[in-house]
Structure 1
Amino acid sequence: MSDRRLPLRRAPLPFRLLGSAVRAAGSLPGGDLAARGARETESWLLGELAQRLDGLRHEPGADGDAGDVTDLPPQADAIARFQGLLAVSLNQRPEDARRYLFDRIVAQLVPDEARIIAALSDGEPVAVCHVGAGMRVGPVSRWVLENASTVGKDAGVMLLDQVPNYIAHLRLLGLVQLGGPSDALHTRYEILETDARVRGAVAMVDNELKMRPRLQRGTLVLSELGQALWRACEASAIEHDG
């Protein structure tokens, strides 16, 4: 593929960083191969971006001068951000990658979810139950309520009715995980099963679906990723206090 350069007066910062990384790689022992690969990546990326910018420039209503990348439509901004990530990836350390990962995860959290993570940080499992519907004999055919838990009250979240959704989101992010039932939480399960939302789900299965309600007990704990995030927060707090 030909090495097409951006039709701009000056290459954007991500590409200047990529060029610096290419030069740095070539100065290291055995860096010729890495530098060659980075140059090939740079050429391909620049060619792809040039084609996209050409397409944007010829869209109806676009003028003949692209101007700076920051003046282009949002699509070009996204491309530039992606190139920036590639440039950073050439020299990042594991701790840098972890910081980027945590930044992305935390940006998706709401305060109530942060409180749930804090409540689980002591490592003790909390009670969770799911309400399903099934025939008198046989497996559950559908779940009508998942992730009901006592952790909402324990954490002091503001929107208790959203706790199942919070837990589902935290599971999706990989920050919490479910486990089997715990005999030590027997009283907590009994309290949870008197919760209005759980009782409402049981009533719906019984009265509306005309099926047999099935309650499945379980536990909720932080995953390894959730523990790592909490440790990083603790370390940061200690550093700032110090």
Structure 2
Amino acid sequence: MRTTEHLVKLARQLSTTAERLPGAGLVQKEYEIIEDALLQSMHQRMKRAVSRSAESPVALPPPANSDNIDIAEGRVGLSPGQRLQSIMAEALEQTTEQALSDWAHRILDQLLPDEARLLSAFSSGDSYAVIGVSASRSITGPREILLSNISSVGKAAQVKARELLPSYIARLKTLGLIERRGPSNSLELDYQILESDTRVQQALNEAQAGNYSRIRTERGTIKLSATGNKLWQICTQHKSN
């Protein structure tokens, strides 16, 4: 007999296939009903498993509500199994809007003020010049990144700790909020200004002094990703409400 997890996976595969068939909207609604029932079964099974554990019982928090702080406080002292059970209980009650709101809050919890400035600059939809320095230790050796994320966006966003800009950009990339693309001819002047940056010149000089081969500057552009745009939409929508 298939486990509940296998049935959930199968239902999702069928849903993906059904999207290409006539009447996909109706099929999708039926799938969501089935998935909710399966998730409910998983939740009940976990609840029974936790109740049989040898751990001291701890009262579970109430069902999900709109106050994220209350929910987080309610999880203090829970075992890992009980916390997962609590999260699954929230998932069963949660709407799409609530799920997006929780995701946005989690991302915002990780942002520094300077990084928020950068997001605001990227929200215009503009692409910004970004360069780095790469080289290899031999003619046939692998290319190494010696410097990265030197960009013109720092000035546009009025970043306070400008020396931390490469780190800010790296973090925003890791969070999936911005993406790097190829160079743009329209940003030629910006590239030339960045290539005269002290850090870039220092990296080039150190590479030459270290007998690196194939030393070059790497040009590109960075802009808001689809995920970053979604976050910005959620935040501005809530701000206006």
Q: Give me the TM-score of the superposition, normalised by structure 1.
A: 0.70
> Is the aligned partner of 1:41 residue 2:42?
yes
Residue identity in the other structure for 2:170: A
> What does residue 148 of structure 2 align with?
146
SS at match of 2:189: helix
* Cα distance between partner residues in 1 of 2:116 and 2:172: 10
| Structure 2 match to 1:23 | none
Contact kept, 8 Å, 2:137 with 2:211, in 1: the verdict is no
The reply to whether residue 168 of structure 1 matches residue 178 of structure 2 is: no
TM-superposed deviation, 1:206: 1.4
- Partner residue of 2:11? none
Question: How big is the shift at 1:138?
Answer: 5.9
Aligned-partner residue type, residue 171 of structure 2: H
Q: 1 CA distance for matches of 2:124 and 2:168?
A: 19
Distance 1:233 1:43, change over 3 A: closer
Cα distance change on mapping 1:33 and 1:237 into 2, 3 Å = closer
1:202 & 1:32 partners in 2: Cα distance? 60
Contact kept? 1:180, 1:218, Cα under 8 Å = yes
Give the percent of matched residue pairs that are identical in Structure 1 and Structure 2. Answer: 31
Asked if the contact 1:128/1:189 (under 8 Å) is kept, the reply is: yes
Correspondent of 1:183 among 170, 177, 185: 185
Aligned to 1:90: 92
Query: 2:58, 2:101 → 1: CA distance?
Result: 33
Deviates more, 1:153-162 or 1:120-129: 153-162
Question: Which has the higher mean CA deviation after the structures are superposed, 84-93 or 36-45?
Answer: 36-45
State the shift of 1:89 in Å.
1.4
Aligned partners of 2:183 and 2:219 also within 8 Å: yes
Residues 194, 175 of structure 1: CA spacing in aligned structure 2 closer, same or farther, 3 A cutoff? same
- Structure-2 residue corresponding to 1:10: none
Deviation at 1:113, TM superposition (A): 0.8
User: 1:76 is paired with a residue of what secondary structure?
Assistant: coil
Contact residue 104 and residue 234 of structure 2 kept, 8 A: no
Please say if 1:120 is aligned against 2:153. no
Q: Residue deviations 1:12-48, cap 9 Å, x none?
A: xxxxxxxxxxxxxxxxx99997786455323421244
How far apart in 2 are the matches of 1:108 and 1:31? 32
The one-character-per-residue Cα deviations of 1:82-102 (angstroms, maximum 9, x if unpaired) are 322211211322222211111
Instruction: State the partner residue of 1:192.
Output: 194
Aligned residues of 2:47 and 2:85 also touching (Cα < 8 A): no
Asked whether the 8 Å contact 2:134–2:217 carries over to 1, the reply is yes
The CA deviation at 1:203 is 1.8
The TM-score with structure 2 as length reference comes to 0.71
1:133 aligns to what SS in structure 2? strand
- How far apart, CA to CA, are the structure 1 residues paired with 2:213 and 2:32? 67
In the alignment, residue 173 of structure 2 is paired with which amino acid? R
Alpha-carbon distance change, 217 to 34 in structure 1, aligned in 2, over 3 angstroms: closer
Q: CA RMSD in A?
A: 3.1
CA distance in 1, matches of 2:40, 2:239: 41
Using a 3 Å threshold, how does the CA distance of structure 1 residues 227 and 34 change in structure 2: closer, same or farther? Answer: closer
Change (3 A) 1:136 1:36: closer
- Give aligned pairs, total: 199
Q: Taking structure 1 as reference, are residues 75 and 109 closer, same or farther at Cα in structure 2, changes over 3 Å only?
A: same
